Amino acid sequence: MTQPDPTNDYRQRLLAERAELVTLISEQRGGLRPRAEVAEEHFAHPEDSSVQVSTERDLEFSLNERETAELVAIAAALERLDLGTYGQCTDCGGAIASLRLQALPEAARCIACQERAEQLPPFARA
C-alpha cells in the first residue's frame, strides 16, 4: 500500500490559492476591461479632493504590489514542488516545519531565516 503524497495536498492548496487570487484581482480591476480604463474611471470623480485621490491611488498600488508578490510566492512554491525542493528553506536548506507550511504553503524560509530576513532593511530583502 502506497502512502499518500503530502506534497500533492500542498500543490492543490497552492493552485486553489492562485485561482482565488487571480479571480479577486480580476474582479477588483473590472474583469476583462483594461486596467487603465478601470483606473481612469475610479479616479475620475471631480468631487474628490486631490489628497483623497492620491491616497486612494497609493492604496490601490500597494494592494497591487501585495497581490503580485503573493502570486510570485505561489509560483515559486509550485516550482519548488516540481524541483523536489519544496519544504526546504531557500536560505539555509533546512526543513521548514510542517505547521508553517500548513499555515503558509508558499513559505520559502524556515521561521529563523524569515525572522532574520524581516530584520533587513526593505531594499536588502529578497
DSSP states along the chain: -PPP-HHHHHHHHHHHHHHHHHHHHHHHTTTTS-HHHHHHHHT--TTS-HHHHHHHHHHHHHHHHHHHHHHHHHHHHHHHHHHT-TTB-TTT-PBPPHHHHHH-TT--S-HHHHHHHHHS-GGG--
> 65 vs 99, which has greater pLDDT?
99
User: Residue 25 — very low, low, confident or very high, per pLDDT cuts 50/70/90?
Assistant: confident
Q: State pTM to two decimals.
A: 0.73
In the chain, the amino acid numbered 35 is R
Query: Would you say how long the chain is, in residues?
Result: 126
Average pLDDT over residues 55-78: 83
Does residue 31 or residue 105 have the better pLDDT?
A: 105
Q: Read off φ and ψ for residue 97, nearest 5 degrees.
A: -55, 140
Q: In 10 A of CB 87, how many CB atoms?
A: 21
**pLDDT band (50, 70, 90) for residue 87:** very high
Residue 1 or residue 68, greater confidence? 68
Indicate whether 90 pLDDT > 80.
yes
pLDDT at 98: 95
Residue 123 has pLDDT above 90, yes or no: no
